[in-house]
C-alpha cells in the first residue's frame, strides 16, 4: 500500500519539515509493524531532492499546485505552525465567497478539509514564545502581524466559551514534534491496514526493489546472497514442462517431488508437492542409497552444459569483490557458471554423512579433494575469497560417496539440532553475516529450507530490528509471497519485494556500478 503525506507549513518551522520527512520516508517504513506493507512518500514544496519550480509568471501557491499533488489528493495532511502564517494569497485564489486566504498553508488546510473523501488531517503548533525582536525594528510590525494571523487561524479550533471545537496538538521543541508525529502517523497507518484487512484486501507494496542500493551492496561485497529453491524457476521458458529423461533445465521442488512420488507410489495426492515428506517416504520404502542415486541422476544429468542457467548465477560470477554466497540447492549449476567465468571460489558443503561427524567439506579453490573441518575451526579470508556455502548438502561430481542431501524430514530435524548446538554453520560465516545486507532469493514458507535459514539467522534478525538509523537493510525477492510469508519477513526486519527473479536480475544488472 502506498501512502502520500502532504506537509503544509510556512518557513519558520523548517526543522519540523525536515523531521517530518525523515519520519515519513525513513523511520516509518522501518517500523516492524508496517515494514514491507506500506510505502510512504512525503509531499513538500521544498523537498531538497525535488523542489518545485517557481516560474515568474505564477504565484508561489499556483506553482505548488501545479508541481505537487493537491492536499485533497493525498492520504494524510500534516499542518505545522508557530509564529508565521505565510504570505496572503491574491484575489485569484480566493474562496468561493470572495474572502481571502491568510496564506498558502490556510488554503492547503481547507483544500483537505473540504475534500470528499477527506484525508486524515493532523495540525500541530509550536507553543514556545517566538522572538519578535525589538519594537523599533523596521520589520517588527510584519512579524507581529504574522503572529496574530497564526493566532487567528487557531481560533477556528475553539468555541465561543473557549472549549475546543477541533483537534490540534501543541509541542515545545522540534524534537518533541518529531516524537509526537511518529506516534500519530504510526497509529494512522495501523488503522489503514486494519481497514484494508477488514475489507478483505491484500496489503502489498507494489514499489520496485531498491535496485541501486542492492547493486551497490553486491558490488562492494557487503551483501550475502542467500539462494533458495525458487531459483529453479529462473532462466527457463515460462510454463515449459520439465522432462526427467531429456532435461533442458533443472526441476523445481514441486516437479522433483512429483517425480519421486510417482516412482515410490506415494499414497497421498494432496501432499505430493511436499518434497520433505515424499523424500522420507521414498527412503522408507526403498533405501537411503537409492534416494541418493536417484537425486544424483535427476540433478546432475549426463549433459549439464545443455541446462538453462539462472541469470543470477552469471551476474554473481561477474562481480569483482569477494562474496559469501549461501545456497540451499543441491545441484552444481552455480559452480559450473563460476568455473566457466574463471571466477575463483572456495566450496564449503554441509554434510549429513555420519562417518564425517559434524565436519563440513571444504574445497579450497582448485582442490580436487575436500578437507574435512569442524565448522568452528574453518578459516577462510572472506575479504579475499569468494565462498559458495551449500547449506543443505550437494552433489559432488568427483565422488558420489560424498553426495549429501538435507531433504527428508529427519534430515531437517538433524540440521535444526546442529544449528541449535552451533555445529552446522561455520562460525566464520555467521559472524560475517552479522553486519552484511542479506539478500534472500526464491524462498517460500512451504519449504523446509526456509525454516532452517530463518532459524540459523534468528539472532541477527533481532539486532536488525533495533538498529534504528544505522539499520542494515535486508531484502527478500520472489514472484509472490503469501500473507504469512510477508508477516514473517516483516517481523524479522527484511523488506519483501514481489518481482520475477529474471526481471529482478535484468534490472539489477543495469544498475551495477561500471
What H or E segment, with its residue span, contains residue 5?
A: strand 2-8
The pLDDT value given to residue 164: 61
pLDDT band at 460 (very low <50, low <70, confident <90, very high): low
Q: How confident is the model over 159-186, as a mean pLDDT? A: 84
- The residue with greater pLDDT, 304 or 60, is 304
Q: Is 67 exposed, middle or buried (0-12, 13-18, 19+ CB in 10 A)?
A: middle
The pLDDT value given to residue 240: 86
What is the rounded distance in angstroms from the CA atom of residue 268 to the CA atom of residue 255? 16
- Across the chain, mean pLDDT equals 85
- The residue with greater pLDDT, 118 or 423, is 118
The long-range contacts involving 455-463, CB below 8 angstroms and separated by at least 24 positions, are 455/416, 455/419, 455/420, 456/391, 456/419, 456/424, 456/425, 456/430, 457/433, 458/492, 460/433, 460/434, 461/492, 461/493, 461/494, 463/434
Which tens digits make up the pLDDT trace of 376-387?
Answer: 899 999 999 999
pTM over 0.75: no
For residue 85, give Cα distances in angstroms to 6, 26, 92, 152: 17, 28, 19, 9
Nearest to residue 441, comparing CAs of 172, 223, 250? Answer: 223
Which tens digits make up the pLDDT trace of 17-66?
Answer: 999 999 988 888 777 666 667 778 888 776 554 444 444 454 555 545 55
Which tens digits make up the pLDDT trace of 212-254?
Answer: 999 999 999 999 999 999 998 899 887 788 999 989 999 999 9
Amino acid at each position: 500500500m502506498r501512502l502520500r503525506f502532504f506537509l503544509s507549513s510556512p518557513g519558520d518551522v523548517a526543522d519540523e519539515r525536515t523531521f517530518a520527512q525523515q519520519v515519513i520516508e525513513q523511520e516509518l517504513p522501518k517500523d516492524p509493524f508496517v515494514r514491507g506493507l506500506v510505502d510512504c512518500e512525503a509531499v513538500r514544496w521544498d523537498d531538497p531532492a525535488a523542489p518545485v519550480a517557481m516560474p515568474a509568471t505564477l504565484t508561489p501557491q499556483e506553482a505548488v499546485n501545479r508541481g505537487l499533488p493537491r492536499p485533497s489528493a493525498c492520504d494524510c495532511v500534516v499542518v505545522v505552525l508557530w509564529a508565521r502564517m505565510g504570505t496572503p494569497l491574491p484575489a485569484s485564489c480566493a474562496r468561493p465567497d470572495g474572502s481571502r486566504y491568510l496564506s498558502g498553508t490556510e488554503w492547503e488546510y481547507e483544500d483537505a478539509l473540504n475534500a470528499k473523501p477527506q484525508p486524515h488531517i493532523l495540525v500541530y503548533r509550536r507553543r514556545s514564545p517566538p522572538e519578535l525582536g525589538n519594537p523599533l525594528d523596521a520589520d517588527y510590525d510584519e512579524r507581529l502581524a504574522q503572529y496574530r494571523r497564526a493566532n487567528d487561524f487557531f481560533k477556528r479550533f475553539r468555541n465561543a466559551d473557549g472549549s475546543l471545537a477541533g483537534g490540534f496538538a501543541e509541542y515545545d521543541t522540534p524534537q518533541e514534534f518529531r516524537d509526537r508525529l511518529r506516534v500519530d502517523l504510526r497509529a494512522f497507518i495501523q488503522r489503514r491496514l486494519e481497514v484494508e484487512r477488514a475489507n478483505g484486501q491484500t496489503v502489498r507494496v507494489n514499489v520496485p526493489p531498491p535496485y541501486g542500493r542492492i547493486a551497490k551492496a553486491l558490488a562492494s561485497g557487503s551483501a550475502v546472497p542467500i539462494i533458495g529453491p525458487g531459483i529453479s524457476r529462473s532462466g527457463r521458458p515460462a510454463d515449459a514442462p520439465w522432462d526427467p529423461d531429456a532435461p533442458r533445465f533443472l526441476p523445481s521442488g514441486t516437479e522433483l517431488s512429483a517425480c519421486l512420488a510417482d516412482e515410490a507410489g506415494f499414497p497421498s495426492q494432496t501432499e505430493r508437492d511436499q518434497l520433505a515428506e515424499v523424500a522420507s517416504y521414498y527412503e522408507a520404502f526403498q533405501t537411503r542409497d537409492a534416494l541418493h542415486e536417484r537425486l544424483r541422476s535427476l540433478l546432475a544429468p549426463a549433459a549439464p552444459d545443455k541446462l538453462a542457467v539462472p541469470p543470477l548465477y552469471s551476474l554473481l560470477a561477474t562481480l569483482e569483490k569477494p562474496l559469501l554466497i549461501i545456497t540451499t540447492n543441491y545441484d552444481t549449476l552455480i559452480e559450473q557458471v563460476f568455473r566457466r567465468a574463471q571466477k575463483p571460489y572456495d566450496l564449503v558443503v554441509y554434510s549429513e554423512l555420519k562417518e564425517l561427524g559434524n565436519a563440513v567439506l571444504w574445497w579450497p579453490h582448485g582442490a580436487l579433494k575436500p578437507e574435512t573441518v569442524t565448522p568452528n575451526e574453518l578459516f577462510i579470508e572472506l575479504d579475499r575469497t569468494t565462498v559458495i556455502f551449500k547449506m543443505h548438502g550437494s552433489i559432488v561430481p568427483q565422488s558420489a560417496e560424498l553426495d549429501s542431501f538435507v531433504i527428508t524430514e529427519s534430515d531437517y530435524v538433524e540440521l535444526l539440532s546442529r544449528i541449535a548446538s552451533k555445529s552446522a554453520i561455520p562460525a566464520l560465516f555467521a559472524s560475517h553475516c552479522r553486519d552484511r545486507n542479506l539478500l534472500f532469493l526464491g524462498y517460500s514458507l512451504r519449504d523446509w529450507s526456509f525454516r532452517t535459514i530463518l532459524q540459523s539467522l534468528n539472532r541477527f534478525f533481532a539486532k536488525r530490528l533495533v538498529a534504528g538509523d544505522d539499520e542494515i537493510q535486508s531484502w527478500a525477492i520472489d514472484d509472490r509471497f503469501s500473507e504469512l510469508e510477508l508477516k514473517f519477513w516483516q517481523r524479522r526486519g527484511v523488506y519483501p519485494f514481489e518481482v520475477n527473479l529474471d526481471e529482478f536480475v535484468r534490472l539489477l544488472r543495469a544498475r551495477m556500478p561500471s
